[in-house]
Amino acid sequence: MPSIHLQGFAPDAPTQPLQLPHVWRAQSLALAAGAVLPSGFAALDAQLPGGGWPAAGAVELLQEPGAQHDWRLLLPVLGSLVAQRSGPVVLVGVPQLQVPQAPGQMPGLMPFGPALAAQGLPPERLLWVQADAPAARLLACEQALRCADVLAVLAWLPRLTGCAPEALRRLHLGALDHGKPLFLLRPASARQAASAAPLRLLLGGVDALELRIFKRRGPPLMQPLLLAAWPERLAATLAARRRPAPRVARPVVHEEGVYALARRVAA
Amino acid sequence: MHWLAVLPPEPERQAWVWRALRFTPRVAWVDEALLLEVSASHRLWGGPKRLLRRFFGSKAAQAGVEWAQAATSLIAIAVLRLAASGAQPARGLLHDPATLPLHTLGAARPHLATLARMGCNTWGSLRALPRAGVARRFGPGLLSALDAAWGEQPESYPWLSLPEVFDESVELMSLATSADELLWAAQRLLGLLQAWLRARQRGVLACELEWQLDLRRLNGVALPTHQRLVLRTARPTQGMAHLRRLLAEQLARTSLAAPANHLRLRTLETTPWAGASASLLLHEQSKGEHLHELIERLSVRLGAQHVLLPLARADHRPEQMQRWVSALGEVGAASRPAGGPYPVDALYPTWLLALPLRLQVEQDVPQFHGPLHRLSRAQRIEAAWWEANLPARNAGQMPAHSAALRDYFVARSAQAGWLWIYRERPAADQDEVHWFLQGIYA
């Protein structure tokens, strides 16, 4: 059977992957839909779509029971935000302490100003909204997103009940509408729950911050990303304390001396 | 000069005065008619026809009320009286009032009989009489009225103005048994408040809503006659949206002691307000509300003690280094009261416990979800030794103010991460050391 020779078709050309703008290949990260905020960690920026945290929309950070790394991960981006613009960062709620706590008391934990100021976030730019019920926390988030002066909203939702996916989706849409980043900090048991946030991370680890990105606009990250868990100055101080003390050189003894005691006592 | 004379029905007189003051500052009551002088406002409202249309609101309203327009005020009142009595004069501006009957001129009313016997029945015939004789016989008032009617003498009346303080009350159509019904009636009062604010060029800072209760006694308990609600906002405002939301939130939290029949709104505090200039650049126009509105709304919803701002304090004890104050009190201040610089140190933890937690100790090793290994050497803090110890010290409880003699360590727990713990140096009468957890590194 003679082969059909089609005019203009070169069968020897190597097959190039399609580079059309609207064709997305499953192995590549998506471009960010809007502006991004650099996260302060180069290794993390390389893995986030667009090269940083989304400047508008919800990001879910799930923390494993054990070590908490919320401030360590977010202080660089919050520090750069408050340095560029004026307005407060709104904190809604607190993480839950792992100790029994009497109801009606002041919440167990509170943000400590001097430590935040040392890492770039002046405490005068904070607005802390305490609320116990999850519904009240969600309402506070929604109201804070609507305010034009607010720069970012951080919300701690330690309980699974009361945070329905529809409510979180509404928060995400509100954050997109008003152009503000919303960071939701939830327990790791919320991993199985559906969520409308386009970026979801799992934080763990004690000595090093282990990050697993299991939902993003692109393939999920299989291996954990290891970041420095502690601020540089703290880690440097503790490392210095662990090193053995340097040996001090013995003082030189002068042989010729004008002092009475320097002369050897004649036997 | 363009004068309008309106005869408003009895229950709407106040509303007509307010509406007229929107268009011109020259508004006066003369006899039974409301007079407006609008020639100076033509250009603002786009011409006399448009002004009339805006003033009356609709053709139906224009047809429903008696009104007249003329070049001078007395001609306008005369035409109005003719229309009210049934005769149909021409609706256009009357420049030459010679044919108007004399009973429409207010100044001539006491002398109508005499003038009729003299044969003067119209304004023209009165004006034709010699001036000196008219002044001698009827008084100078009639002469000046004639001159004013022909526009040769300026007319001046005691002009009306808006009250200094807004204080309006409205009677509810049906007894209000719940706060939502009050809200509906209060919307109307807020609309009036906005009109008053715009006319007087002021912004409102605080206003009070008061409702009168219908019952004197309920279940044997004597009730107060009125119940009040005060709305305060940090920045003066002319728009009612924020006040309406605050009112809705506060009314949702109040309960009426008895059904209410009257509602009254009055302003407590207003300031002259010129309006803020907005930027024309798109990226500088901020969409959304202001920070003080957010704080006020959240404070009403969650309680003022739950919306907090930190203030620095000069103290070496970590739990006293900052003080959380309610944002509602601080939002009005132009700048935050400087509480002193923060002791900035990267060795501090980012989360602090409000009350330090006493740790269990086993074999000299403090325990918190496992044994704690110390990572750093001691940082000794001795402060407030001048404050006497409170006598009662419960186990695990820490008094608010006491001498702090502590050695701080950074410790590592396999399950809880890095913690900030301290060992309390024993007082003279104690033998054992106590370990406390005060911070969590995040």
Q: How many CB atoms lie within 10 A of CB B166?
A: 20
CB burial class (10 A; 0-12, 13-18, 19+) of residue B282? Answer: exposed
Residue in B380, B379, B377, B439 with CA at minimum distance from that of residue B413: B439
Tens digit of each residue's pLDDT (9 = 90 or more) over B327-347: 887 765 545 555 556 666 778
Q: What is the predicted pLDDT for the residue at B165?
A: 92
**pTM listed for this prediction:** 0.76
Q: Which of residues 309-348 of B touch A (CB under 8 A)?
A: 309-310, 312, 318, 321-322, 324, 327, 336, 342-348
> Phi and psi for A90 in degrees, rounded to 5?
-100, 130
Give pLDDT, residue A77. 95
Chain B contact present for A106, CB below 8 A: yes
pLDDT of residue A163: 86
Chain B CB within 8 Å of residue A135 CB: no
CA-wise closest residue to A114 among B326, B319, B375, B419: B319
Residue type (1 letter), A107: P
Average pLDDT score, chain B: 85
- Structure tokens given for B399: 């008094």
pLDDT recorded at residue B229: 92
Find the helix or strand (DSSP H, E) in which A187 lies: strand A181-187
Q: Please state, in angstroms and as integers, the Cα–Cα distance from residue B16 to each residue in B5, B24, B48, B169, B263, following that order.
A: 12, 13, 19, 17, 21
Crossing angle between the packed helical segments B291-302 and A134-146, to the nearest 10 degrees: 160
pLDDT digits (tens, 9 = 90+) for B390-437: 544 444 445 445 677 889 999 998 888 889 999 987 666 667 788 999
pLDDT band of residue A102 (cuts 50, 70, 90) is very low
SS3 per residue for B128-174: HCCHHHHHHHHCHHHHHHHHHHCCCCCCCCCCCCCCCCCEEEEEEEE
Residue whose C-alpha is closest to residue A160's, from A59, A60, A58: A60
pLDDT, mean of residues A165-191:
93
Taking CA–CA distances from A111, the nearest residue in chain B reads B351
> pLDDT exceeding 90 applies to what percent of chain A?
42
Q: Tell me whether B414 touches chain A (CB under 8 Å).
A: yes
Residues of A in contact with B324 (CB under 8 A): 110, 128
The pLDDT of residue B334: 44
Task: State the pLDDT at residue A112.
Answer: 92
For chain A, the average pLDDT equals: 82
The span from the CA of B338 to the CA of B212, in Å, is 45
b/e burial code for range B407-430 (CB count within 10 A of at least 16 → b)? bbbbbbbeebbbbbbbbbeeeeee
Residues of B in Cβ contact (< 8 Å) with A234: 346-347, 410, 441
The structure tokens listed for B139 are 């008084």
Contacts of B215 (CB under 8 A, 6+ apart): B223, B258, B259
Q: Which residue has 């308990």 as its token pair?
A: B221
Residue A221 pLDDT class (50, 70, 90 cuts): confident
Which 282-301 residues of chain B touch chain A by CB within 8 A? 286-291, 293-295, 297-298, 301
| Subunit contact B351:A109, Cβ cutoff 8 A | yes
Tell me how close the Cα of B77 comes to any Cα of chain A, in angstroms.
54
Contacts of B318 in chain A (CB under 8 A): 112, 114
Q: What is the pLDDT of residues B154-179, one digit of tens each?
A: 988 999 988 889 998 889 888 888 88
Share of chain B above pLDDT 90, in %: 30
What residues contact B360, with CB distance under 8 A and at least 6 apart? B366, B367, B368
Chain A (4-33) residues lying within 8 Å, Cβ to Cβ, of chain B: none
Question: CA A188, A234, A53 angle in degrees (round to 5)?
Answer: 45
Q: Show the tokens assigned to B437.
A: 């957890």
C-alpha span between A94 and A129 (Å, rounded): 9
pLDDT higher than threshold 80 for residue A252: no
In this predicted structure, the answer to whether residue A256 has a pLDDT above a threshold of 70 is: no
Chain B residues inside the 8 Å CB shell of A148: 286-290
Q: Cα separations (Å) of B103 from A12, A178, B157?
A: 111, 68, 21
Confidence of residue B88 (pLDDT cuts 50, 70, 90): low
Q: Is the pLDDT of residue B93 over 60?
A: no
Which chain B residue is nearest to residue A73, measuring alpha carbons? B442
Domains of chain B (ranges, CATH numbers): 3-149 (3.30.70), 170-272 (3.30.1490.100), 351-440 (no CATH)
Q: What is the pLDDT of residue B99?
A: 82
Residue type at B232?
A: R
Which three-class secondary structure state does DSSP give residue B385? coil
Among B235, B284, B328, B351, pick the best mutation site for testing chain A contact (most A Cβ within 10 A): B351
A152-156 and A109-111 beta bridge pairing: unpaired
Q: Which two tokens stand for residue A104?
A: 């009606």
How far apart are alpha carbons B81 and B313 in whole angstroms?
76
Q: Is A236 an interface residue toward B (CB < 8 Å)?
A: no
What's the pLDDT score for residue B313? 85
d(CA B306, CA A136): 11
**CB neighbours of residue B226 within 10 Å:** 12
Residue A244 has a pLDDT of: 67
Interface contact B294-A143, CB threshold 8 A: yes
Contacts of B152 (CB under 8 A, 6+ apart): none
User: Do A209 and A227 touch, CB atoms closer than 8 A?
Assistant: yes
Per-residue confidence (pLDDT) for residue B40, from 0 to 100: 92
Instruction: Please report which helix (H) or strand (E) contains residue B360, including its range.
Output: strand B360-362
Taking a contact as any Cβ pair under 8 Å apart, which residues of chain A between 150 and 189 contact chain B?
150, 178
Query: Hey, which residues does B324 pair with through a beta bridge?
Result: B310
Q: Which residues in chain B have Cβ-Cβ distances shorter than 8 Å to A95?
A: 351, 442
* pLDDT score, position A54: 93
Name the least confident of A48-62, A128-142, B59-73: B59-73
Q: Return the DSSP state at A149.
A: S
- The region that residue A5 occupies, defined by phi over 0 for left and psi between -120 and 50 for alpha, beta otherwise, is beta
pLDDT at A267: 45
ipTM above 0.90, yes or no: no
State the average pLDDT over residues B185-189: 89
Among A211, A222, A142, CA closest to A182: A142
Using the Cβ of A68 and the Cβ atoms of chain B, whether some distance falls under 8 Å is answered with: yes
Average pLDDT score over residue span B53-77: 85
Q: Estimate the share of chain A in helix, then strand, then coil, as percent rounded to the nearest 5.
A: 30, 20, 50
Chain A residues with CB under 8 Å of B297 CB are 143
Estimate the crossing angle of helix A165-178 against helix A134-146, to 10 degrees: 20
B122 secondary structure, DSSP code: B
- Give the tens place of pLDDT for each residue, B238-257: 889 999 999 999 998 888 88
Partner residue opposite A116 with nearest CB, options B350, B354, B369 = B350
Q: Where are the alpha helices (DSSP H) in B267-306?
A: 291-302
Could you tell me what percent of chain A has a pLDDT over 70? 74
Strands B260-272 and B167-176: antiparallel
Contact B306 A115 (CB under 8 A): no
Predicted confidence (pLDDT) per residue in B94-148, tens digit: 667 888 888 888 888 898 999 999 888 888 899 999 999 999 999 999 999 999 9
Is residue B207 within 8 A of residue B242, CB to CB? The reply is no
Backbone phi, then psi, for A113, in 5-degree steps? -55, -55
Task: Encode pLDDT of B343-362 as tens digits.
Answer: 667 789 999 988 888 888 88
Q: B352 and A144: CB-CB below 8 Å?
A: no
A106 DSSP 8-state letter = P
| Average pLDDT rounded to a whole number, residues A247-265 | 62
Nearest residue, CB atoms, B346 vs list A68, A119, A143: A119
